[in-house]
Structure 1
């Protein structure tokens, strides 16, 4: 089993609060986030952007490995992910992750590429996570 971690802090409440996100690898280190980075395009990051990055990266790597397993060894892949956050009553819901794939694999027909890509879309770990159990451990105070 592989475990990775990240942490988030938030000082203040609601729109006036300011947060920071850090990752185990250090790629993000006290990166700012808050209302302005999520809803007003302020400098910093936001949860939807991080989910989009995770989904694009996971799917692209899963596809790369699936293509190699199918006997291909030369090619290039690029995936853009757009995660939608929609108003839902008094709150918000992440409603969609739209992946856009650009790829070229030497000697491969489009139909085979599409079949392998469709399987990678369903089976990459982040795709599975977006429809899975979520647990919550709370430390308060």
Structure 2
């Protein structure tokens, strides 16, 4: 698999604007600015996009593992917070909440950990990744 994204920046770092176009997607013309910019909800930033990629990748990886084991989730919800200090991302903290019929707590924890280990985005980050996995009833 190969994917292509084009990022275009116009103007100075402090006053400029960026735009992302993502091939094979309806996600085009996504505005981006530095994370320190006051956000009015009209743009994203690279750190937020990275966290989004990690959350969606982890969630789909867990869904894949469940399917391989004959299970299907009612819901899988993954939240991510990145720890950034001195322009370095040091940690990605995942919080998982899932409602999965016919699964034991032990199976759930094993599959949640396996998804963390298999997630391509998490593996690419090469940082510490914590996981809190909560099975909802």
Alignment counterpart, residue 96 of structure 1, candidates 88, 91, 102: 91
Equivalent residues of 1:48, 1:84 under 8 A apart = no
Q: Which residue is 2:39 aligned to?
A: 41
* Alignment partner, residue 57 of structure 1: 56
- Distance in 2 separating the partners of 1:76 and 1:30: 30
Structure 2 vs 1, CA of residues 58 and 16 (structure 1 numbering), >3 Å: closer, same or farther? same
Distance 1:74 1:98, change over 3 A: closer
- Aligned: 1:130 with 2:125: yes
Calculate the TM-score normalised by the size of structure 1: 0.79
Structure 2 spans left out of the alignment, 5+ residues: 128-137
For structure 1, list consecutive stretches of 5 or more residues without a partner in the other structure: 133-141
Measure how far apart 1:74 and its partner are: 4.8
Could you say which structure has the greater relative contact order, defined with CA pairs below 8 angstroms and 6 or more residues apart? 2
Question: CA 1:46–1:109 in 2, change beyond 3 Å: closer, same or farther?
Answer: same
Which protein has the larger Cα radius of gyration, Structure 1 or Structure 2?
1
Deviations 1:16-54 (A, max 9, x none): 22211111134332222123xx21224201111111111
Separation in structure 2 between the aligned mates of residue 16 and residue 28 of structure 1, nearest angstrom: 24
**3-state SS in 2 of match to 1:61:** helix
Question: CA separation of 1:76/1:9 partners in 2, compared to 1, >3 Å: closer, same or farther?
Answer: same
CA positional deviation for 1:13: 2.3
- When normalised by structure 2's length, the TM-score is 0.81
What do you get for the CA RMSD once the two structures are aligned? 1.8
| Structure whose residues are more often helix by fraction | 1
